[in-house]
Chain A
Amino acid sequence: MAELRTSTPSVTSVLASAEACDRVSELPGACRVSPGEVALMGDVSEAAVRAAVVRLDPDAVVLDVSDGWIVHSLDGPGSREAFARLSELELPAAGSLVGELAGVGVRILVDGDRIDLLVPSMIAAHVRERIEVDAAELLR
């Protein structure tokens, strides 16, 4: 049985040239959203990141966007099965990806049976409800 937990994350958006984003993508907790955008999960020093990217792209934007996101975490055996109820994405063993779940765009961080779904705050309630209904018997 998987556990479903909801939390408020720390998210920093980095908007920069693809080259600068390549650099930032190597940081732990990084999710490459597009060629020109990386989302950094967890506590990061905005100043340090900015310093790292402006050398490659002086126009780069580094912004704390934590309020825009909610994390729904599926953890434990059955979490991948619960995920498959709502999305056709193929999950890697570990890593991050961007795609659709329950009809909306989400960012996903995977590590084994732990799946963090980074969901825009405005639709977080919708996604939580879909998981609770569609994967009811797989949740603890």
Chain B
Amino acid sequence: MTPGRLRFEGRDVPVLEGDTVASALFRAGVRTFSRSLKGHRRRGLYCGTGECPNCAVTVDGVPGVRSCITPATGDLRIERPRGWPSADHDLLHVADLAHPLMPVGFYLKTFIRPRFAWRTAERMIRRATGSGPLPMDAPATRTVSRHVRCDTIVVGAGVAGLTAALEPAVDGERVLLCDGFAIGSRVAPGPTLDAIRTLEARVRANPAIEIMEGYAALGLFDGPSVPLAGAGELVQVRAERVVVATGATEAHQLFPGNDLPGVWLGRAASAMAALHGVPPGRRVVVVASTAEGVEHLRALVAAGTPVVAALVPSAFVDEVPRETEAIVDGELVEARGHGRLRSVVVRERGERRRIRCDALVLSMGLAPRDELARMAVGEPVRLVGDAALDAGEPRLGGGYLCLCEDVALHDVEQAWTEGFRSAEILKRYTTATMGPCKGAMCGRALACFARDHADAADQRSGARTTARPPLRPVALETLAAPVHEVVEKRTGLHEVHLAAGANLGWSSGWKRALSYGDLAGEYRAVRERVGMMDVGTLGRFLIAGRDAARLAGSVFAGRIEDLAPGRSRYVLALDEGGYVVDDGLLCAVEDGSYLLTSTSGGAERMDARLREWADRLQLHVHLLDRTSELGAILVAGPRARDLLERLTGDPIEAAALPYPGHRELTLAGVPCRAIRSGFVGELAFELHHPRSRGPELWDALLREGKALEISPFGLDALEVLRLEKGHLYLGQDTLPDDTPAKLGLNWAVDMSKPWFVGKAALERLAELPPTRRLAGLEFEGAPAEGAELRGAPLTVGGAVVGRVTSAANSASLERAIGLGWIRRGEDGFPNELGAGSVVARVVSTPFYDPLGARVRG
């Protein structure tokens, strides 16, 4: 890779081939990489594997980037977010001196009073503790999502992962091997890297193994499914089995001074020296308790790092290079220094001894990275390699337990004395393990602390806190890549509305015409002449089969069996609790089947309800959702019949097509089922037609209607038209616990039927006095736009007793009208209420044409 150009806080930093951002900065003399969250303590390079938060910087405006695993390629601008005036000279470090004033959980107890001060305090706290602002003006990037299937996914391509990938591959299974980095790229030269290269060659030669380098696993979900984040891509892998070979990190050690810049974990230090050619210090002390630690020690020395002393167990004493003093079976006591490491104190054969140094390299054991396996509940997951290690107990000697959230061991001890006595609630109170590393550094230590302090019998106190995705920080745009929640439904007349310049808007998932520019004109056309509207959004269902009537009779509360072919009826669907969940119009067809129309927003619910009850009652019915297949145009107004007569030779007079009824017609050559409709309160016909013929029919109606002064109308006009008739919108005017009685819809319920869904509940509820009902309202002193009253609370004597659910100015009545909920008082339901300064009077509905003569026309 070509070395990039690094611009660090205003100055250029030289970059060598193979550099990470961290190695280039460290070579250039940067020692303070970040300031800690609370105390603004200096933090330097520590883990070198992208786990700990210490090296997080802002790269090209993107905060929280781990510089130790970010290749220094391209043109990068680097900043350190915390610290004022700079991360090197940070006056906010005073917060560390004030630590006694900000004990653990202080934010739960302070900044509470005076309340007005919180706004200012919050701004200051955010600035002092945040990881830096998000790049709000950054250009949108595109993340794609794809799905991959395999038999086995192996997460992690170290020695264990490569070995595991080769195991099942001999059986011809499809194996997917993934790793957040290129294979072997993060391992310093040595026996481990040699083993990796040998295995890698075999894996690459095996065609059954797909290798995905640069793809980090984010979590493990049911399936099992493992999402992987790679460059500009989210890959969702569905596998039969998961092998977790994520290895281990070097265990975070707890001792006083453990967070000083200059304290390194072994892998970071040896990589810095061996891969990037920069010694971690001029006088280095190594603590190596394991064989890997000794490997790091030798790598450091081989790369020319001056290691002055090494604490090793007696078993490894022969491995210590000659130029390094071996301290056998010594114990690390503390690290000292202000802002950076100056010396370490060790105990050697019972004696304390201070060694001057500027780097302390720790390789004292491993903490398995087993989070993925811990996310699995009953999924076929296997841990291999270091990830399966049974790690020893970490030593709790002091210092900082959680580097991300700046929680010291004494903070956790205090929380314990305050009564927070398990790992889970210690986590919530202290926020330890809740930082970006998600407990990779401190989770084990926190659990160990709780276990040590709890009663021996209390197993749960010391359990690890729950592992949750995402495993690594991930951009929201990556997570959003596979989300397709905004599904735009269009009727067959969509293009026609666009061409007509309609104002389109969302309604129940559909894009619909709200108006064509003249709301008052559209309204008047329907009331005085004729209007037409696209109602192709209505749900349409065919219910056929010998049990069709039984299904309709069961799902709907009204009488069904006397519905003769050619007639239609308004139907209500209730749930088992007797509450209204859907409504529609049921049309009986000559062949014994039914055509059901449902609300635009309730079609999917209606489909599911019909199928569910057909199944539960074991009925022989055939259901077909015809919503997509059929278009529908509503032609409404006193001249509606005149218009249709110009386009059809079929009989459409009241005797042949009465209200409420329906029949098949051919209009302008288009086969339709015309249904008489009462929703807008005028003579009206819904023309249900093949979707593809919609534009042709629309044009014919518009053309022939010209002489009758026709106008298309949209949802906005419909809102006023239906409100004048007192017709309600389920959802807008209703609440989840509305019975037909509360809505004034008892006329649509036939309690004499032996059974229908919700009947038993209605019988029980009938014994209770009504406490609430939907009422028609007329407003006095309403604002110029009556619709503004929608949502207004309704009051009696200052007490809220209801709410306006719909409101509009009625041109026919020349006043604002609406629907709203009212609660029963001691003297019955109120007749006059307040809606702010407006007076709301309860009136009976319909407001317009109460006897319905115009609809029947």
Contacts of A77 in B (CB 8 A): none
User: Which of the segments B54-62, B165-173, B542-550, B716-724 contacts the partner chain?
Assistant: B542-550
Query: In the complex, which of the residues A69, A87, A123, A130 contacts B489, with contact meaning CB atoms closer than 8 Å?
Result: A123
Chain B interface residue bracket vs A: 35 or more
A37 to B542, CA, bound (A): 13
Q: Does A47 contact B (CB under 8 A)?
A: no
Q: Which residues of B contact A (CB under 8 A)?
A: 144-149, 236, 238, 483-485, 487-492, 494, 510, 542, 544-546, 593, 620, 622-624, 626-630, 690-693
Whether A54 is near chain B, meaning CB under 8 Å from some CB there, is: no
Residues of A within 8 A of B546 (CB): 59
Residues on A with beta carbons closer than 8 Å to the beta carbon of B488: 123, 125-126
Nearest first, the 3 A-B pairs at minimum CB distance are: A68-B629, A103-B484, A15-B622
User: Which among A16, A68, A102 has the highest number of chain B CB atoms within 10 Å?
Assistant: A68
Is A19 in the interface zone, CB < 8 Å from B?
Answer: no
State in angstroms the CA–CA spacing of A88 and B690 once bound together.
Answer: 33
Q: Is the CB of A104 within 8 A of B236?
A: no
A120 to B492 alpha-carbon distance, docked (Å): 11
Whole-angstrom CA separation of A135 from B146 in the bound complex: 9
In the complex, which residues of chain B have a beta carbon less than 8 angstroms from the beta carbon of A65?
624, 626, 629
Interface presence of A134 (CB below 8 A): yes
Given the known interface contacts A121-B691, A122-B489, A123-B489, the answer about A85 and B146 at a Cβ–Cβ threshold of 8 Å is: yes
A103 touching B628 in the complex, CB below 8 Å, given contacts A16-B622, A61-B542, A81-B146: no
Give Cα A9 to B238, complex, Å.
32
In the complex, chain B residues whose CB is within 8 Å of the CB of A67: 492, 628-630, 690-693
Chain A residues with CB under 8 Å of B484's CB are 86, 102-104, 130
Q: List 15 A-B contacts (CB under 8 A).
A: A15-B544, A15-B545, A59-B546, A63-B542, A67-B629, A68-B628, A85-B145, A86-B484, A103-B484, A120-B627, A121-B492, A121-B628, A123-B487, A125-B494, A126-B488
Measured in the bound complex, the distance between the Cα atoms of B485 and A37 in whole Å is 27
Q: Nearest Cβ in chain B — how far from A45, in angstroms?
A: 19
Q: Which residue of A lies closest to B592 (CB)?
A: A59
Interchain CB contact under 8 A, B627 and A84: no
Residues of B within 8 A of A88 (CB): 147, 236, 238
Contact B628 A126 (CB under 8 A): no
B691 touches A36 (CB 8 A): no
Q: Residue on B with the closest CB to A63?
A: B624
- Cβ A103 vs Cβ B623 within 8 A: no
> CA separation between A95 and B305, bound complex, in Å?
65
Task: Indicate if A13 sits at the interface (CB-CB under 8 A).
Answer: yes
Interface residue from A66, A121, A126 paired with B487 (Cβ < 8 Å): A126
B214 to chain A, nearest CB (A): 18
| B143, closest chain A residue (CB) | A134
Shortest distance between the CB of B381 and any CB in chain A (Å): 20
- Contacting pair A122 B624 (CB below 8 A): no
Interface 0/1 of A39-69, CB less than 8 Å to B: 0000000000000000000011101011111
Q: Does A90 contact B (CB under 8 A)?
A: yes
- Quote the shortest CB–CB distance from B197 to chain A (angstroms): 31
User: Once the chains bind, are A59 and B628 in contact (CB under 8 Å)?
Assistant: no
**One of B145, B236, B628, B693 near A69 (C-beta < 8 A):** B628
Task: Compute how far the CA of A63 lies from the CA of B622 in the bound complex, rounded to whole angstroms.
Answer: 12
Contacts of B490 in A (CB 8 A): 122-123, 125
Q: Which of B628, B690, B693 interacts with A122 by CB under 8 Å?
A: B628
Q: Give min CB distance, B30 to chain A, whole Å.
A: 39
Q: Which residue of B lies closest to A133 (CB)?
A: B142
Closest to A130 in B: B484
Whole-angstrom distance between the Cβ of B694 and the nearest chain A Cβ: 9
| A130 / chain B contacts, CB cutoff of 8 Å | 484
A122, B691: Cα distance in complex, Å = 9
Kindly identify which residue among A36, A69, A90, A122 contacts B622, using a CB–CB cutoff of 8 Å.
Answer: A36
A6 at the interface (CB under 8 A from B): no
- Alpha-carbon gap, A89 to B149, bound state (A): 9
Give the Cβ gap from B239 to chain A, nearest Cβ, in Å: 12
Give the chain A neighbours of B489 by CB distance below 8 A. Answer: 122-123, 126
Interface flag for A7 (CB, 8 Å): no
Q: Which residue of A lies closest to B235 (CB)?
A: A84
CB-defined contacts of B542 to chain A, threshold 8 Å: 61, 63
* Chain B residue contacts of A60, Cβ below 8 A: 622
Q: From residue B500, how far is it (CB to closest CB) to chain A in Å? A: 18
Of B492, B622, B693, the residue contacting A59 (CB under 8 A) is B622
Task: Give, as a whole number of angstroms, the nearest-CB distance from B482 to chain A.
Answer: 8
A59 to B592, CA, bound (A): 10
Distance in angstroms between the alpha carbons of A135 and B147 in the assembled complex: 12
Q: Knowing A59-B546, A122-B491 touch, does A103 contact B485 (C-beta < 8 A)?
A: yes
Which chain A residues numbered 100 to 134 have a C-beta less than 8 Å away from chain B?
A: 102-104, 120-123, 125-126, 130, 134
Instruction: Beyond the given A16-B622, A59-B622, A84-B146, please list 17 additional residue pairs across the A-B interface where CB-CB is below 8 A.
Output: A36-B622, A59-B544, A59-B620, A61-B542, A65-B626, A67-B492, A67-B628, A67-B630, A103-B484, A103-B485, A103-B487, A121-B628, A121-B629, A123-B490, A125-B488, A125-B494, A130-B484
> Are B692 and A8 within 8 A (Cβ)?
yes
CB distance from A85 to the nearest CB of B (A): 5
Report A-chain residues with C-beta under 8 Å of the C-beta of B692.
8, 66-67
Candidates B145, B236, B693; contact of A134 at CB < 8 Å: B145
Which A residues are CB-close (under 8 A) to B593? 61
Inter-chain contacts of B622 with A (CB < 8 A): 15-16, 36-37, 59-61
How far does the alpha carbon of A67 sit from the alpha carbon of B696 in the complex, in Å?
14
Considering the complex, give the chain A residue whose CB is closest to the CB of B621.
A59
* Contact assessment for B149 and A90 in the assembled complex, using a CB-CB cutoff below 8 Å: yes
Determine how close the nearest CB of chain A comes to the CB of B790; give it in whole angstroms. Answer: 29
Which of chain B's residues has its CB closest to A135's CB? B144
Shortest CB-to-CB span from A13 to chain B, Å, is 6
Q: Which residue of B lies closest to A121 (CB)?
A: B628
Neighbouring B residues of A89 by C-beta, 8 Å: 147
Q: Which residues of A contact B627 (CB under 8 A)?
A: 120, 122
Cβ–Cβ contact A104 & B487, under 8 A: yes
B438 to chain A, nearest CB (A): 26
* Distance between A74 CB and nearest chain B CB, rounded to angstroms: 14
Minimum CB–CB distance from B512 to chain A (whole Å) comes to 12
Contacts of B238 in A (CB 8 A): 88, 90
Are A134's CB and B691's CB within 8 A? Answer: no
- When distances are taken between beta carbons in the complex, the residues of chain A under 8 Å from B148 are 84
The chain A residue with its CB closest to the CB of B622 is A15
Shortest C-beta distance, A84 to chain B (Å), equals: 5
